[in-house]
Amino acid sequence: MKVLFSAVGGTDPISNCKDGSMLHICRVYQPDKVYLYLSKEMCAYHDQDDRYQKSLQLLGKDLHWHCEIKVIQDKEMEHVQIFDAFIAPFEQMLSEIRQKDKPKEILVNVSSGTPAMKSSLQMLSMLWNDITAIQVSTPRKSLNKYHEDKDQYHLDIQWECNEDRKEGFENRCMVSDAKRLLDRIRIENIQKYIAEYDYEAAKMMAGTLSVKPSQEFVDCLDIAIARNRLDLYYVNNNRKKYDLQHWFPFTGEREMQEYEYLLAMQIKLLKKQYADFIRDVTPIFYSFSEKVLEKSCGLKFADIGKEQKSGAWNLSLKKLRIQNIKPQNNWRDYTFISSYVILSILQQKSSDKKVLDLMGKIRIVEQKVRNLAAHQILGVTAGWIKKQTGFEPIQIMDMMFELAGYAGLKICCKDKQVYQVMNQDLMGML
């Protein structure tokens, strides 16, 4: 179903021996239903001779076309020059049309009525994707210099003299390109959201574009969203559809998990989400500590503990004795193998002072900041982190990347910039 919503103006229905805008749109588009909005002044002419409905009926006979006509009489509307007077009422009327008629397309006439009416409809067409604004140029392609006497209007004579009834009439309708201007603004906002790593907001804004973006952009944006959420199952199931190898330098299961986790931490740091950033230290520190233990000392968790049904590992004092490791006084067989426990073992078994120093610094962060941020209501700022640990947040991030290297995950400078590369690619797809 195709519906036309049209205000009625001074050159409707026929003027200068040509269709007025309302009538001309109906001639070209032949909508199934027409809503005519009449201000107080136009209501008077409607009551005088019903010229607007009758002109549509005459057009229907000529074209063997039928439409349902609904006349909206706003007899209280006198101040037709005020822009704000029409935005809310027109939006309400169009919403009711959408709910009642459920049209596939809504056309709005942005050439009839007062400037306030036309600009209000133009703005609404920009905001709603299912509304198409139609402009109609004057026969002279300039201002109409002559206007019929609306009080002494003879529709039958006007109809007979209407040159647009002839075969081969000039189609003066144009689809307004205002949506393209709005799309340009929206695309700029999408690009800003992407640059700020807010992929959810970018997707929401992309859904408002009148000209839909490519399927490649939509799919790759979904991959970016999943990546930032660490939904690597979705990422791996969908990334092979496009040439995205340069987005994912690590594809081994554990290496990819650790790498993507570090990148997600880095994004939180860039967005100054310090509380989330600092809470993320423990899981990745634990993962790297396990790998450093094996690499530096040749010890796996199975060599020092026992795996529980939950997948967690507890210490085994018997196995520690076999490995010639002296347990701390508070260690028991049920003690969880934490990064702190691993560091204590490394201090006994490893001679790599650099990695021990690095892990000791990260342990300070975990002990003095991470645990507080995770268990207390705090305002976590870069200054607070520096005060508690002696390290700037960026230094903590650099330490995590450095520890990744000791754990066997060699991340170069280029790998650290993958999100920026991904962002540039996404912007290029728009």
Q: How many distinct structural domains can be found in the chain?
A: 3
| Per-residue confidence (pLDDT) for residue 147, from 0 to 100 | 58
Same domain, 138 and 197: no
Same domain, 20 and 160: yes
Same domain, 370 and 243: no
Residue 243 lies in a domain: yes
Residue 331 lies in a domain: yes
* Nearest by Cα to 120 from 73, 82, 70, 172: 82
Strand partners, 71: 36
Residue 85 lies in a domain: yes
Among candidate residues 176, 196, 216, the one where a domain is terminated = 176
CA angle 358, 356, 349 (to 5 degrees): 160
Same domain, 279 and 369: yes
| Per-residue confidence (pLDDT) for residue 368, from 0 to 100 | 82
What single DSSP character describes residue 391? -
Same domain, 203 and 336: no
| Per-residue confidence (pLDDT) for residue 142, from 0 to 100 | 44
Q: Per-residue b/e over 4-32, b at no fewer than 16 CB within 10 Å?
A: bbbbbbbbbbbbbebbbbbbbbbbbebbb
CATH number reported for the structural domain that contains residue 153 in this entry:
3.40.50.10770
Same domain, 245 and 372: no
Same domain, 56 and 172: yes
Same domain, 89 and 189: no
Residue 108 lies in a domain: yes
Same domain, 13 and 142: yes
CA angle 156, 107, 143 (to 5 degrees): 60
| Per-residue confidence (pLDDT) for residue 79, from 0 to 100 | 78
CA 249 vs. chain centroid, Å, equals 27
Q: Which residue has the tokens 């009416």?
A: 117
| Per-residue confidence (pLDDT) for residue 108, from 0 to 100 | 96
Q: State how far the Cα of 238 lies from the Cα of 257, in Å rounded to an integer.
A: 16
What's the domain range around 357?
274-408
| Per-residue confidence (pLDDT) for residue 148, from 0 to 100 | 64
pTM of the shown model? 0.69
Residue 67 lies in a domain: yes
Residue 266 lies in a domain: no
What is the SS3 assignment for 136? Answer: strand
Per-residue pLDDT of the chain (430 residues; tens, 9 = 90+): 999 999 999 889 998 899 999 999 999 999 999 999 999 999 999 999 999 999 999 999 999 999 999 999 999 887 777 777 788 899 999 999 999 999 999 999 999 998 889 989 988 888 887 899 999 988 765 445 445 667 778 899 999 999 999 988 999 999 987 777 788 888 999 999 999 999 999 999 999 888 889 999 999 999 999 999 999 999 999 999 999 999 999 999 999 999 999 999 999 999 999 999 999 999 999 999 999 999 999 999 999 999 999 989 999 999 999 999 999 988 999 899 999 999 999 999 999 999 999 999 999 998 888 666 666 667 789 999 999 899 999 999 999 999 999 999 999 999 999 999 999 999 999 8
Residue 33 lies in a domain: yes
Please write the tens of the pLDDT for every residue from 359-395: 999 999 988 886 666 666 677 899 999 998 999 999 9
Residue 143 lies in a domain: yes
| Per-residue confidence (pLDDT) for residue 20, from 0 to 100 | 93
Same domain, 392 and 362: yes
| Per-residue confidence (pLDDT) for residue 222, from 0 to 100 | 97
Same domain, 373 and 392: yes
Same domain, 344 and 292: yes
* Nearest by Cα to 423 from 227, 256, 240: 227
Among candidate residues 176, 197, 223, the one where a domain is terminated = 176
